[in-house]
Amino acid sequence: MHKSADVIIVGSGIGGLTVGALLQQQGISTLVFEQNSVPGGSCSSFSRNGYRFDAGASVFYGFGDDLSSGTLNLHTRIFRKLGIDVKTVHDPVQIHYHLPGGFALPAHYSRKLFLDSLQDRFPHEGEGIKKFYDELEAVYDILSSLPAGSLEDLMHLAQVGLTYPGKTFTLAMKTFRSMGKTARKYISDEELLRFIDIESYSWALQNALSTPLVNAGICLADRHHGGINYPVGGSGVIAEGLVRGIEKYGGTVRYRSEVVEILVEGGSAHGVKLANGECCYADVVVSNATVWDTFNRLVPDPRYHVAEEKFQRAPSWFQLYLGVDGSVIPEGFHVHHVLVEDWKRYDQTGGTIYFSAPTLLDPSLAPSGKHIVHLFVTAETSEWESFEKSNGQYLKAKEAFARTVIARTEKILPGLADSIELQVFATPSTHERYLNRYKGSYGPLLWPGQNVLQKPQNLTRVKNLLAVGDSTFPGQGVIAVTYSGVSCASYIARQMGKPLAYL
């Protein structure tokens, strides 16, 4: 069998592209297969009538300038290592929360301003607020000082453990704690605990009790350090930059090349088969697909089947991409918002509205005098399977549901419906088809009470088949899948005798 590359990567999500770019620079040849015509998966961009929309991801960590911050500014470090320039714009507010009872609070980049605002709302919990967010800061302080690498690489673990014994032990102990239980050590006010739940749900899609403290320490502390930074040109710029890095060092990304099977023989992966019948071979295969797509579709051997209920499945999304007249956005309006109307429904499908207006940071994404409004709510494929596409029923259902989301959003942006000049909608079925993801899901979540280290790692039960992306540690989100890519690349590079220098 003629080897096409040292490593074949299935899918050009950010995790897979990170693996490809880091390995290729290290002299390990990589070949990435992508079924679509653009890279990035849910972190890609698409254009319509002069508007450039983010396909999914819209809030970005990892572009901080402080290189003393170890693992939490990975985008900055990776692109500098590759010699690729990705410009960003700083966002002074992570999310502006709009909650029941008239409770509205922006999560400012300034930690003092954020904590002062929260303590003004809950003066009787002032000390508890400080102690809880100090716990998150302590996790951040540890994580930011440790080098990124594979938790399955014994040499990496030994090196980190010997160099940072105290921090390693402390972090290991913190992996057994949840964000919610930690909050309840210091806080009793139910409304404030609800706020901490939505702080978690806004990025983890789980309440605080179900969210590991370590994960919370990354997102809710790093927003006050590296902060939120938007890539100029939209989310797709991140993927495009990684592709440039792969190609710069001699690697290849093949578009419109769908992988239909990972070739396994004798319990070991040795290549892939494409939809056109072509077979390509490599020493290692890396899957950027979900755990269910990898082992229930791409690896047909039933011995490797993964039951859906083994993990809590993250939902999919209904997304609205709107081009609007710029006059509808008032002066001083923030870029990212989360709207909760009823605490009883916030964690049910469609219960929370996510809102992004990236043109407030990057006006080049829309025609002059216009803005982009990106709305999305959780949804499931089962809610859309009954609508016929051939007779227009599916389209009418999309339009009707979109009108309800737009009407709800007018609570924070009056006049939105009348300002719309372009609209594009995507259901969970769109996500399932375009991203080739099981039920349009964004991967497995931990069940309440599970340790964060129980998240699947890069190694799988199939020899020479590794996994990357939101089905692996540490989980969902662009910076999280980037970490999974760094971890995977580090493991492969050491196994091939060309270990990566720590980022």
Tens of pLDDT, residues 454-471: 788 899 999 999 999 999
Split at pLDDT 50, 70, 90, the class of 67 is low
- Based on the domain organization, do 272 and 349 belong to the same domain? no
Phi and psi torsions of 478, nearest 5°: -65, -45
- Based on the domain organization, do 148 and 47 belong to the same domain? no
Residue 274 inside a domain? The answer is yes
Residue 106 inside a domain? The answer is no
Q: How many domains does the chain have?
A: 3
Split at pLDDT 50, 70, 90, the class of 156 is confident
Q: What is the C-alpha to C-alpha distance for residues 245 and 81, in angstroms, rounded to an integer?
A: 9
Q: What is the pTM of this model?
A: 0.92
CATH number of the domain within which 468 lies? 3.50.50.60
Neighbouring C-beta atoms of residue 369, cutoff 10 Å: 9
Q: What is the pLDDT of residue 157?
A: 78
- Based on the domain organization, do 197 and 263 belong to the same domain? no
Residue 362 inside a domain? The answer is yes
Q: 198, 226, 254 — which closes off a domain?
A: 226
Q: Which residues does 311 contact at the CB level (< 8 Å), separation at least 6?
A: 291, 444, 445, 446, 447
* Helix/strand/coil for 267: coil
DSSP string, 273-336: EETTS-EEEEEEEEE-S-HHHIIIIIS--GGG---GGGSEEP-EEEEEEEEEEGGGS-TT--SE
- Based on the domain organization, do 210 and 256 belong to the same domain? no
**Cis link prior to 474 (omega < 30° from 0)?**
yes
Looking at the DSSP bridge assignments, the partners of residue 340 are 352
Residue 166 inside a domain? The answer is yes
Q: What is the pLDDT of residue 71?
A: 58
Q: What is the pLDDT of residue 334?
A: 97
Would you say 167 and 142 are in contact if contact means Cβ atoms under 8 Å apart? yes
Across 52-79, average pLDDT? 83
Q: What is the pLDDT of residue 68?
A: 57
For residue 187, what are its two tokens?
A: 């806080």
Residue 97 inside a domain? The answer is no
- Based on the domain organization, do 240 and 220 belong to the same domain? no
**Mean pLDDT across the chain, nearest whole number?**
91
Q: What is the pLDDT of residue 446?
A: 77
Q: What is the pLDDT of residue 358?
A: 97
Q: What is the pLDDT of residue 164?
A: 77
- Based on the domain organization, do 293 and 359 belong to the same domain? no
Across 149-177, average pLDDT? 79
| Whether pLDDT at 387 is above 80 | yes
Which range, 74-88, 149-163, 448-462, has the best average confidence (pLDDT)?
A: 74-88
Domain range for residue 357?
A: 316-379+385-426
Split at pLDDT 50, 70, 90, the class of 187 is very high
- Percentage of the chain with pLDDT > 70? 98
Tens of pLDDT, residues 284-324: 999 999 999 999 999 999 999 998 888 888 899 999 999 99
Q: What is the pLDDT of residue 69?
A: 52
- Based on the domain organization, do 289 and 365 belong to the same domain? no
Residue 295 inside a domain? The answer is yes
- Based on the domain organization, do 333 and 410 belong to the same domain? yes
Residue 39 inside a domain? The answer is yes
Q: Which residues does 354 contact at the CB level (< 8 Å), separation at least 6?
A: 58, 202, 336, 337, 338, 375, 376, 377
Q: 173, 193, 226 — which closes off a domain?
A: 226
Q: What is the C-alpha to C-alpha distance for residues 75 and 358, in angstroms, rounded to an integer?
A: 19
Residue 337 inside a domain? The answer is yes
Split at pLDDT 50, 70, 90, the class of 176 is confident
- Percentage of the chain with pLDDT > 90? 72
Distances (CA, A) of 277 to 9, 38, 43, 272, 454: 17, 22, 28, 10, 37
Phi and psi torsions of 97, nearest 5°: -90, 135
Q: What is the pLDDT of residue 253?
A: 97
Half-sphere exposure of residue 383: CA atoms within 13 angstroms, side-chain side: 17
| Whether pLDDT at 139 is above 60 | yes
Q: What is the pLDDT of residue 160?
A: 79
- Based on the domain organization, do 162 and 219 belong to the same domain? yes
- Based on the domain organization, do 274 and 293 belong to the same domain? yes
Distances (CA, A) of 448 to 74, 132, 170, 185, 208: 28, 20, 22, 18, 10
Split at pLDDT 50, 70, 90, the class of 226 is confident
**Of the candidate ranges 115-129, 153-167, 342-356, the one whose mean pLDDT is the lowest:** 153-167
- Based on the domain organization, do 369 and 277 belong to the same domain? no
- Based on the domain organization, do 127 and 217 belong to the same domain? yes
